[in-house]
Structure 1
Amino acid sequence: MIQLLFLVLFAEGIVALLLMVKIGPLRELVMKGLDQVKMGKGPATVKTIAGTMSVILLSSVTSILKIQNKGAKLGTMTPMDQVLWRTHLLETSLMGFSLFLGFLIDRMHHYLQKLNRLRGNAGASKEEFEKLQKERAQLKEKEEQASKEIKLLQEQISTLTQDLKKLKLEAEEKDKKVETAEAHVVSLQKQAADLLLEYDRLLEDNQNLQTQALGFRG
């Protein structure tokens, strides 16, 4: 029993050491092994073993107390009682330390799993952050390009506005010229009408003069 407990303690000590100190891929192998132990019926088996050891531990403690009480009543312990007391004390110490190491290994495995998950999440967050930075840079480039296009469009709009103003001015000037030409045409039409009236009057005067001249001849 004692040899088995020493073997268990030695194995647990190695496992605890490998969990605490990273030696090549050994920690990953131990973690995978513990993961396998905690799968399926593994937890129930471990709990059963721990429960059995706890019962044996309590039994050993009870035996130690009985031997001590017996020695206290007799005033001394017999050599056999001393051997039994030391044996039970050694077994109790080994089992207690074994249970403690088992609990320590379980907690270390649990927290290392959490640490690995956190590292994985941190790596994913870092990748996401880098991705967001790239997207931000792309958006910034697009924004700069859009800003340049907007400036170009504004310049084109300004040029078109100036051209439109020039066209409006030219149209106004042409309208003024048309109005002036129309007024000139109207004036010419009036002058032509006056000339026609004057021409008719002159024709009438000419006819009158011719009539008078014929009258004088007759």
Structure 2
Amino acid sequence: MHHYLQKLINLRSNVGASKEEVENLKKETVELKEKEERASKEIKQLKKELSNLSEGLKKVKMESEEKDKKVETAEAHVASLQKQAADLLLEYDRLLEDNQNLQAQAMGHKS
């Protein structure tokens, strides 16, 4: 009888320890679920932020491409104006020379 009582006491203490372990495991499970929920929310938020940043990057790239095109157009316009200015300077020099020749001829006829 004593032997069985000793076994019963051991089993009850093991049951108590097991119940305590079960309670601890339940608490850990609840904590892990809460952490998982927080992590899930954070992941969703980060994905949304990443999506917004990606859209912003695309927009900036498009704006950059548009500005690059405007710069190319402006550079072509500047080159065209520089060529036109050089041509006008050559024409001015030719007309100045013609004017000097005509003035020299006019002076020659007056004398």
TM-score, length-normalised on structure 2? 0.96
Q: Does 1:149 align with 2:42?
A: yes
Q: For the residues of structure 1 that align with 2:15 and 2:98, how far apart are their CA atoms? A: 120
By how many angstroms is 1:213 displaced?
Answer: 1.1
Which letter maps to 1:186? A
Q: Does 1:184 align with 2:77?
A: yes
Q: For the residues of structure 2 that align with 1:124 and 1:148, how far apart are their CA atoms? A: 36
Q: For the residues of structure 1 that align with 2:28 and 2:95, how far apart are their CA atoms? A: 97
Runs of 4+ deviating beyond 6 Å = none
**Larger Rg computed on CA atoms:** 1
Q: Does 1:169 align with 2:62?
A: yes
Q: Spell out, residue by residue over 1:50-97, the C-alpha distance to the aligned partner (whole angstroms, 9 max, x if none).
A: xxxxxxxxxxxxxxxxxxxxxxxxxxxxxxxxxxxxxxxxxxxxxxxx
Instruction: Give the alignment of 1:62-101 within 5 angstroms.
Output: none
By how many angstroms is 1:215 displaced?
Answer: 1.5
Q: For the residues of structure 2 that align with 1:139 and 1:116, how far apart are their CA atoms? A: 34
Instruction: Give the alignment of 1:40-79 within 5 angstroms.
Output: none
Q: For the residues of structure 2 that align with 1:112 and 1:189, how far apart are their CA atoms? A: 112
Which letter maps to 1:157? L
Other structure's SS at 1:163 match: helix
Which letter maps to 2:19? K
Structure with bigger helix share is: 2
Q: Does 1:200 align with 2:89?
A: no
Q: For the residues of structure 2 that align with 1:182 and 1:174, how far apart are their CA atoms? A: 12
Q: For the residues of structure 2 that align with 1:201 and 1:115, how far apart are their CA atoms? A: 125
Q: For the residues of structure 2 that align with 1:114 and 1:200, how far apart are their CA atoms? A: 124
Q: For the residues of structure 2 that align with 1:194 and 1:169, how far apart are their CA atoms? A: 37
Q: Aligned-pair RMSD on alpha carbons?
A: 0.8
Q: For the residues of structure 1 that align with 2:88 and 2:7, how far apart are their CA atoms? A: 116
The alignment-based identity, stated in percent, is 74
Q: For the residues of structure 1 that align with 2:11 and 2:31, how far apart are their CA atoms? A: 29
TM-score, length-normalised on structure 1? 0.50
1 or 2 for the larger relative contact order (CA 8 Å, sep ≥6)? 1
Could you tell me which residue of structure 1 aligns to residue 29 of structure 2? Answer: 136
Q: For the residues of structure 2 that align with 1:209 and 1:111, how far apart are their CA atoms? A: 142
Q: For the residues of structure 1 that align with 2:81 and 2:12, how far apart are their CA atoms? A: 100
Q: For the residues of structure 2 that align with 1:115 and 1:187, how far apart are their CA atoms? A: 105
Could you tell me which residue of structure 1 aligns to residue 102 of structure 2? Answer: 209
